[in-house]
């Protein structure tokens, strides 16, 4: 087998054979296929696509590049959630302990942020002492003891995806449905969860900008999951505006704790409850405690505190606060008709909440606090956003992201405003 014939085949719109796919994934993982050759193949896939058989085989080959985890020794059914990534998407934080409080075990292998979308591990690392890196034994201990664990995927899980994802990130080949679907599902199937709920984001702050593309991605991933014996469901949810009132690591932890305490922004609570109910149903947990009750009676908070402490974190420690703040005010009076998720995500990233390269550090306190969401009536001069950073020289660059024509839109008082529903579709 030689890589050039595989690249040429996809370049010329041919279907790749099972043997070609198995070989190229294995050879790339071993370093026999070079990065520049895999980049060419990834670009050919982005331009010419893959059919379901090819995507399924590609996913399977990435799973076989590493180890598979096994939670069958746990006394509870396992259920996991994966979001395709958005701005202010802190849902995993309240969701994992909430679902654990309602009777399913949640093994949540999460990632770090790259680009304008935040990463769950970066958020949790703003809690003093909390550790993302656990051995397999530690992971099982936390899961057994607290019902939920959120940690980094070990190096042995789908190593082909680890390598390929880093390559796609720097070659403009992230946004290919076959590559996104196989990347996400290879990790989730290898992780060994029994049930999986996908939160496929749609809108300016997401990879998928329109509903039709998001539906295709969701259908592909649900098919891959079901074929692998993982009970998989997808919700398609709005990411045209940030979720909740914060984007940034410690800021989002604070908001998540508010949700666990029975408060928090309505959209974060709505999505957390919807995903929790889907995760419990997919795992076959019925008739147990309702998630809304678990938020109200303190049992979700209790699971959160135990989960954080089991990973070395102090749930009572004060969260880091950025050294400098800048308040952005409303330029006019009227109805706030848009607060663009991408613009806010880029601003938070530029303030130091995200990283430009994998090895860059993030600032725990950096980010954007939102004082008015679309639909709010605002008065010229009132605070709209507070920007937080330890490095005030970043303010101007962050403000540039918020100065684009679509970033903040205000219509005259009395203008019609139609809110986009948070949950746009469900695919099972």
Q: Interface residues with ligand URA (CB under 6 A)?
A: 84-85, 165, 174, 179-180, 183-184
Cβ at position 184, least distance to ligand URA in Å = 5
Asked if 293 contacts 100 with a C-beta cutoff of 8 angstroms, the reply is no
Asked if 42 contacts 176 with a C-beta cutoff of 8 angstroms, the reply is yes
The residue assigned the tokens 């390598």 is 163
Is 161 assigned a catalytic role? yes
Is 183 assigned a catalytic role? yes
Cβ at position 206, least distance to ligand URA in Å = 10
In angstroms, rounded to a whole number, what is the distance separating the alpha carbons of residues 405 and 415? 18
Cβ at position 345, least distance to ligand URA in Å = 14
The single residue of 82, 162, 306, 394 carrying the catalytic annotation is 82
User: Which helix or strand (DSSP H or E) is residue 168 part of?
Assistant: helix 159-169
Length of the chain in residues, anyone?
Answer: 428
Asked if 292 contacts 99 with a C-beta cutoff of 8 angstroms, the reply is no
Nearest CA to 55 out of 200, 163, 202, 216 is that of 216
Question: Whose Cβ is closer to ligand URA: residue 180's or residue 353's?
Answer: 180
Cβ at position 50, least distance to ligand URA in Å = 14
Question: Whose Cβ is closer to ligand URA: residue 182's or residue 240's?
Answer: 182
In angstroms, rounded to a whole number, what is the distance separating the alpha carbons of residues 149 and 146? 8
Question: Whose Cβ is closer to ligand URA: residue 158's or residue 387's?
Answer: 158
Q: What are phi and psi of 175, to 5 degrees?
A: -85, 45
* Residue with nearest beta carbon to ligand URA: 183
Q: What are phi and psi of 403, to 5 degrees?
A: -100, 0
**How do 79-83 and 195-202 pair as beta strands?**
parallel
The single residue of 57, 162, 168, 303 carrying the catalytic annotation is 168
Question: Whose Cβ is closer to ligand URA: residue 174's or residue 261's?
Answer: 174
Cβ at position 45, least distance to ligand URA in Å = 12
Is 302 assigned a catalytic role? no
In angstroms, rounded to a whole number, what is the distance separating the alpha carbons of residues 42 and 52? 16
Question: Whose Cβ is closer to ligand URA: residue 112's or residue 373's?
Answer: 112
Three-class DSSP category at 306: helix
Please report, for residues 112, 348, 362, 370, the alpha-carbon distance to residue 355 in angstroms, rounded to integers and kept in the order given.
9, 10, 6, 21
Nearest CA to 271 out of 188, 197, 368 is that of 197
Is 60 assigned a catalytic role? no
Tokens at residue 196, please? 């999986």
Nearest CA to 173 out of 346, 36, 15, 267 is that of 36
Write the CB contacts of 114 (distance below 8 Å, at least 6 apart in sequence): 169, 354, 355, 358
Asked if 149 contacts 142 with a C-beta cutoff of 8 angstroms, the reply is yes
Question: Whose Cβ is closer to ligand URA: residue 113's or residue 367's?
Answer: 113
Asked if 66 contacts 160 with a C-beta cutoff of 8 angstroms, the reply is yes
Nearest CA to 196 out of 96, 290, 73, 78 is that of 78
Cβ at position 175, least distance to ligand URA in Å = 9
Cβ at position 81, least distance to ligand URA in Å = 13
Question: Whose Cβ is closer to ligand URA: residue 103's or residue 205's?
Answer: 205
Question: Whose Cβ is closer to ligand URA: residue 10's or residue 82's?
Answer: 82
Is 168 assigned a catalytic role? yes
Tokens at residue 293, please? 């009750």
Asked if 233 contacts 222 with a C-beta cutoff of 8 angstroms, the reply is yes
In angstroms, rounded to a whole number, what is the distance separating the alpha carbons of residues 64 and 108? 20
Cβ at position 166, least distance to ligand URA in Å = 11
Active site residues: 82, 161, 168, 183, 187
């Amino acid at each position: 087998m030689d890589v050039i014939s595989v690249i040429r085949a996809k370049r010329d719109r041919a279907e790749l054979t099972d043997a070609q796919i198995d070989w190229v994934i294995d050879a790339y993982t071993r370093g026999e296929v070079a990065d520049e050759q895999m980049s060419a193949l990834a670009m050919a896939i982005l331009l010419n696509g893959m059919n379901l058989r090819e995507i399924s085989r590609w996913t399977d080959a990435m799973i076989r590049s590493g180890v598979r985890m096994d939670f069958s020794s746990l006394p509870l059914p396992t259920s996991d959630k994966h979001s395709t990534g958005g701005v202010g998407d802190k849902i995993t934080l309240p969701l994992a302990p909430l679902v654990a409080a309602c009777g399913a075990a949640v093994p949540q292998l999460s990632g770090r942020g790259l680009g304008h979308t935040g990463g769950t591990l970066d958020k949790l690392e703003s809690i003093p002492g909390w550790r993302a890196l656990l051995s397999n034994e530690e992971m099982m201990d936390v899961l057994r003891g607290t019902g939920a664990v959120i940690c980094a995927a070990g190096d042995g899980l789908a190593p082909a995806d680890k390598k390929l994802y880093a390559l796609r990130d720097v070659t403009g080949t992230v946004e290919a449905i076959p590559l996104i679907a196989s990347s996400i599902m290879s990790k989730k199937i290898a992780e060994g969860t029994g049930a999986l709920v996908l939160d496929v984001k749609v809108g300016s702050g997401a990879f998928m900008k329109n509903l039709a593309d998001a539906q295709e991605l969701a259908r592909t991933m649900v098919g891959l999951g079901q074929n692998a014996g993982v009970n998989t469901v997808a919700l398609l949810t709005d990411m045209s505006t940030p979720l909740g009132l914060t984007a940034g690591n410690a800021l989002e932890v604070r908001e998540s704790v508010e949700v666990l305490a029975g408060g928090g922004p309505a959209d974060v609570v709505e999505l957390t409850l919807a995903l929790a109910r889907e995760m419990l149903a997919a795992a076959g947990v019925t008739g147990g405690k309702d998630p809304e009750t678990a938020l109200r009676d303190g049992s979700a908070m209790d699971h959160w505190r135990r989960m954080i402490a089991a990973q070395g974190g102090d749930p009572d420690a004060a969260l880091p606060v950025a050294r400098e703040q800048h308040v952005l005010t409303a330029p006019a009076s009227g109805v706030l008709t848009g607060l663009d998720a991408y613009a806010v995500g880029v601003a938070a990233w530029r303030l130091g909440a995200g990283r430009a390269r994998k090895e860059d550090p993030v600032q725990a306190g950096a980010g954007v606090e939102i004082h008015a969401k679309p639909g709010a009536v605002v008065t010229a001069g009132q605070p709209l956003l507070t920007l937080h950073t330890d490095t005030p020289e970043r303010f101007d660059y962050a403000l540039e992201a918020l100065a684009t024509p679509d970033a903040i839109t205000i219509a005259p008082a009395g203008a019609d405003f139609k809110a986009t529903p948070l949950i746009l579709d469900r695919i099972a």
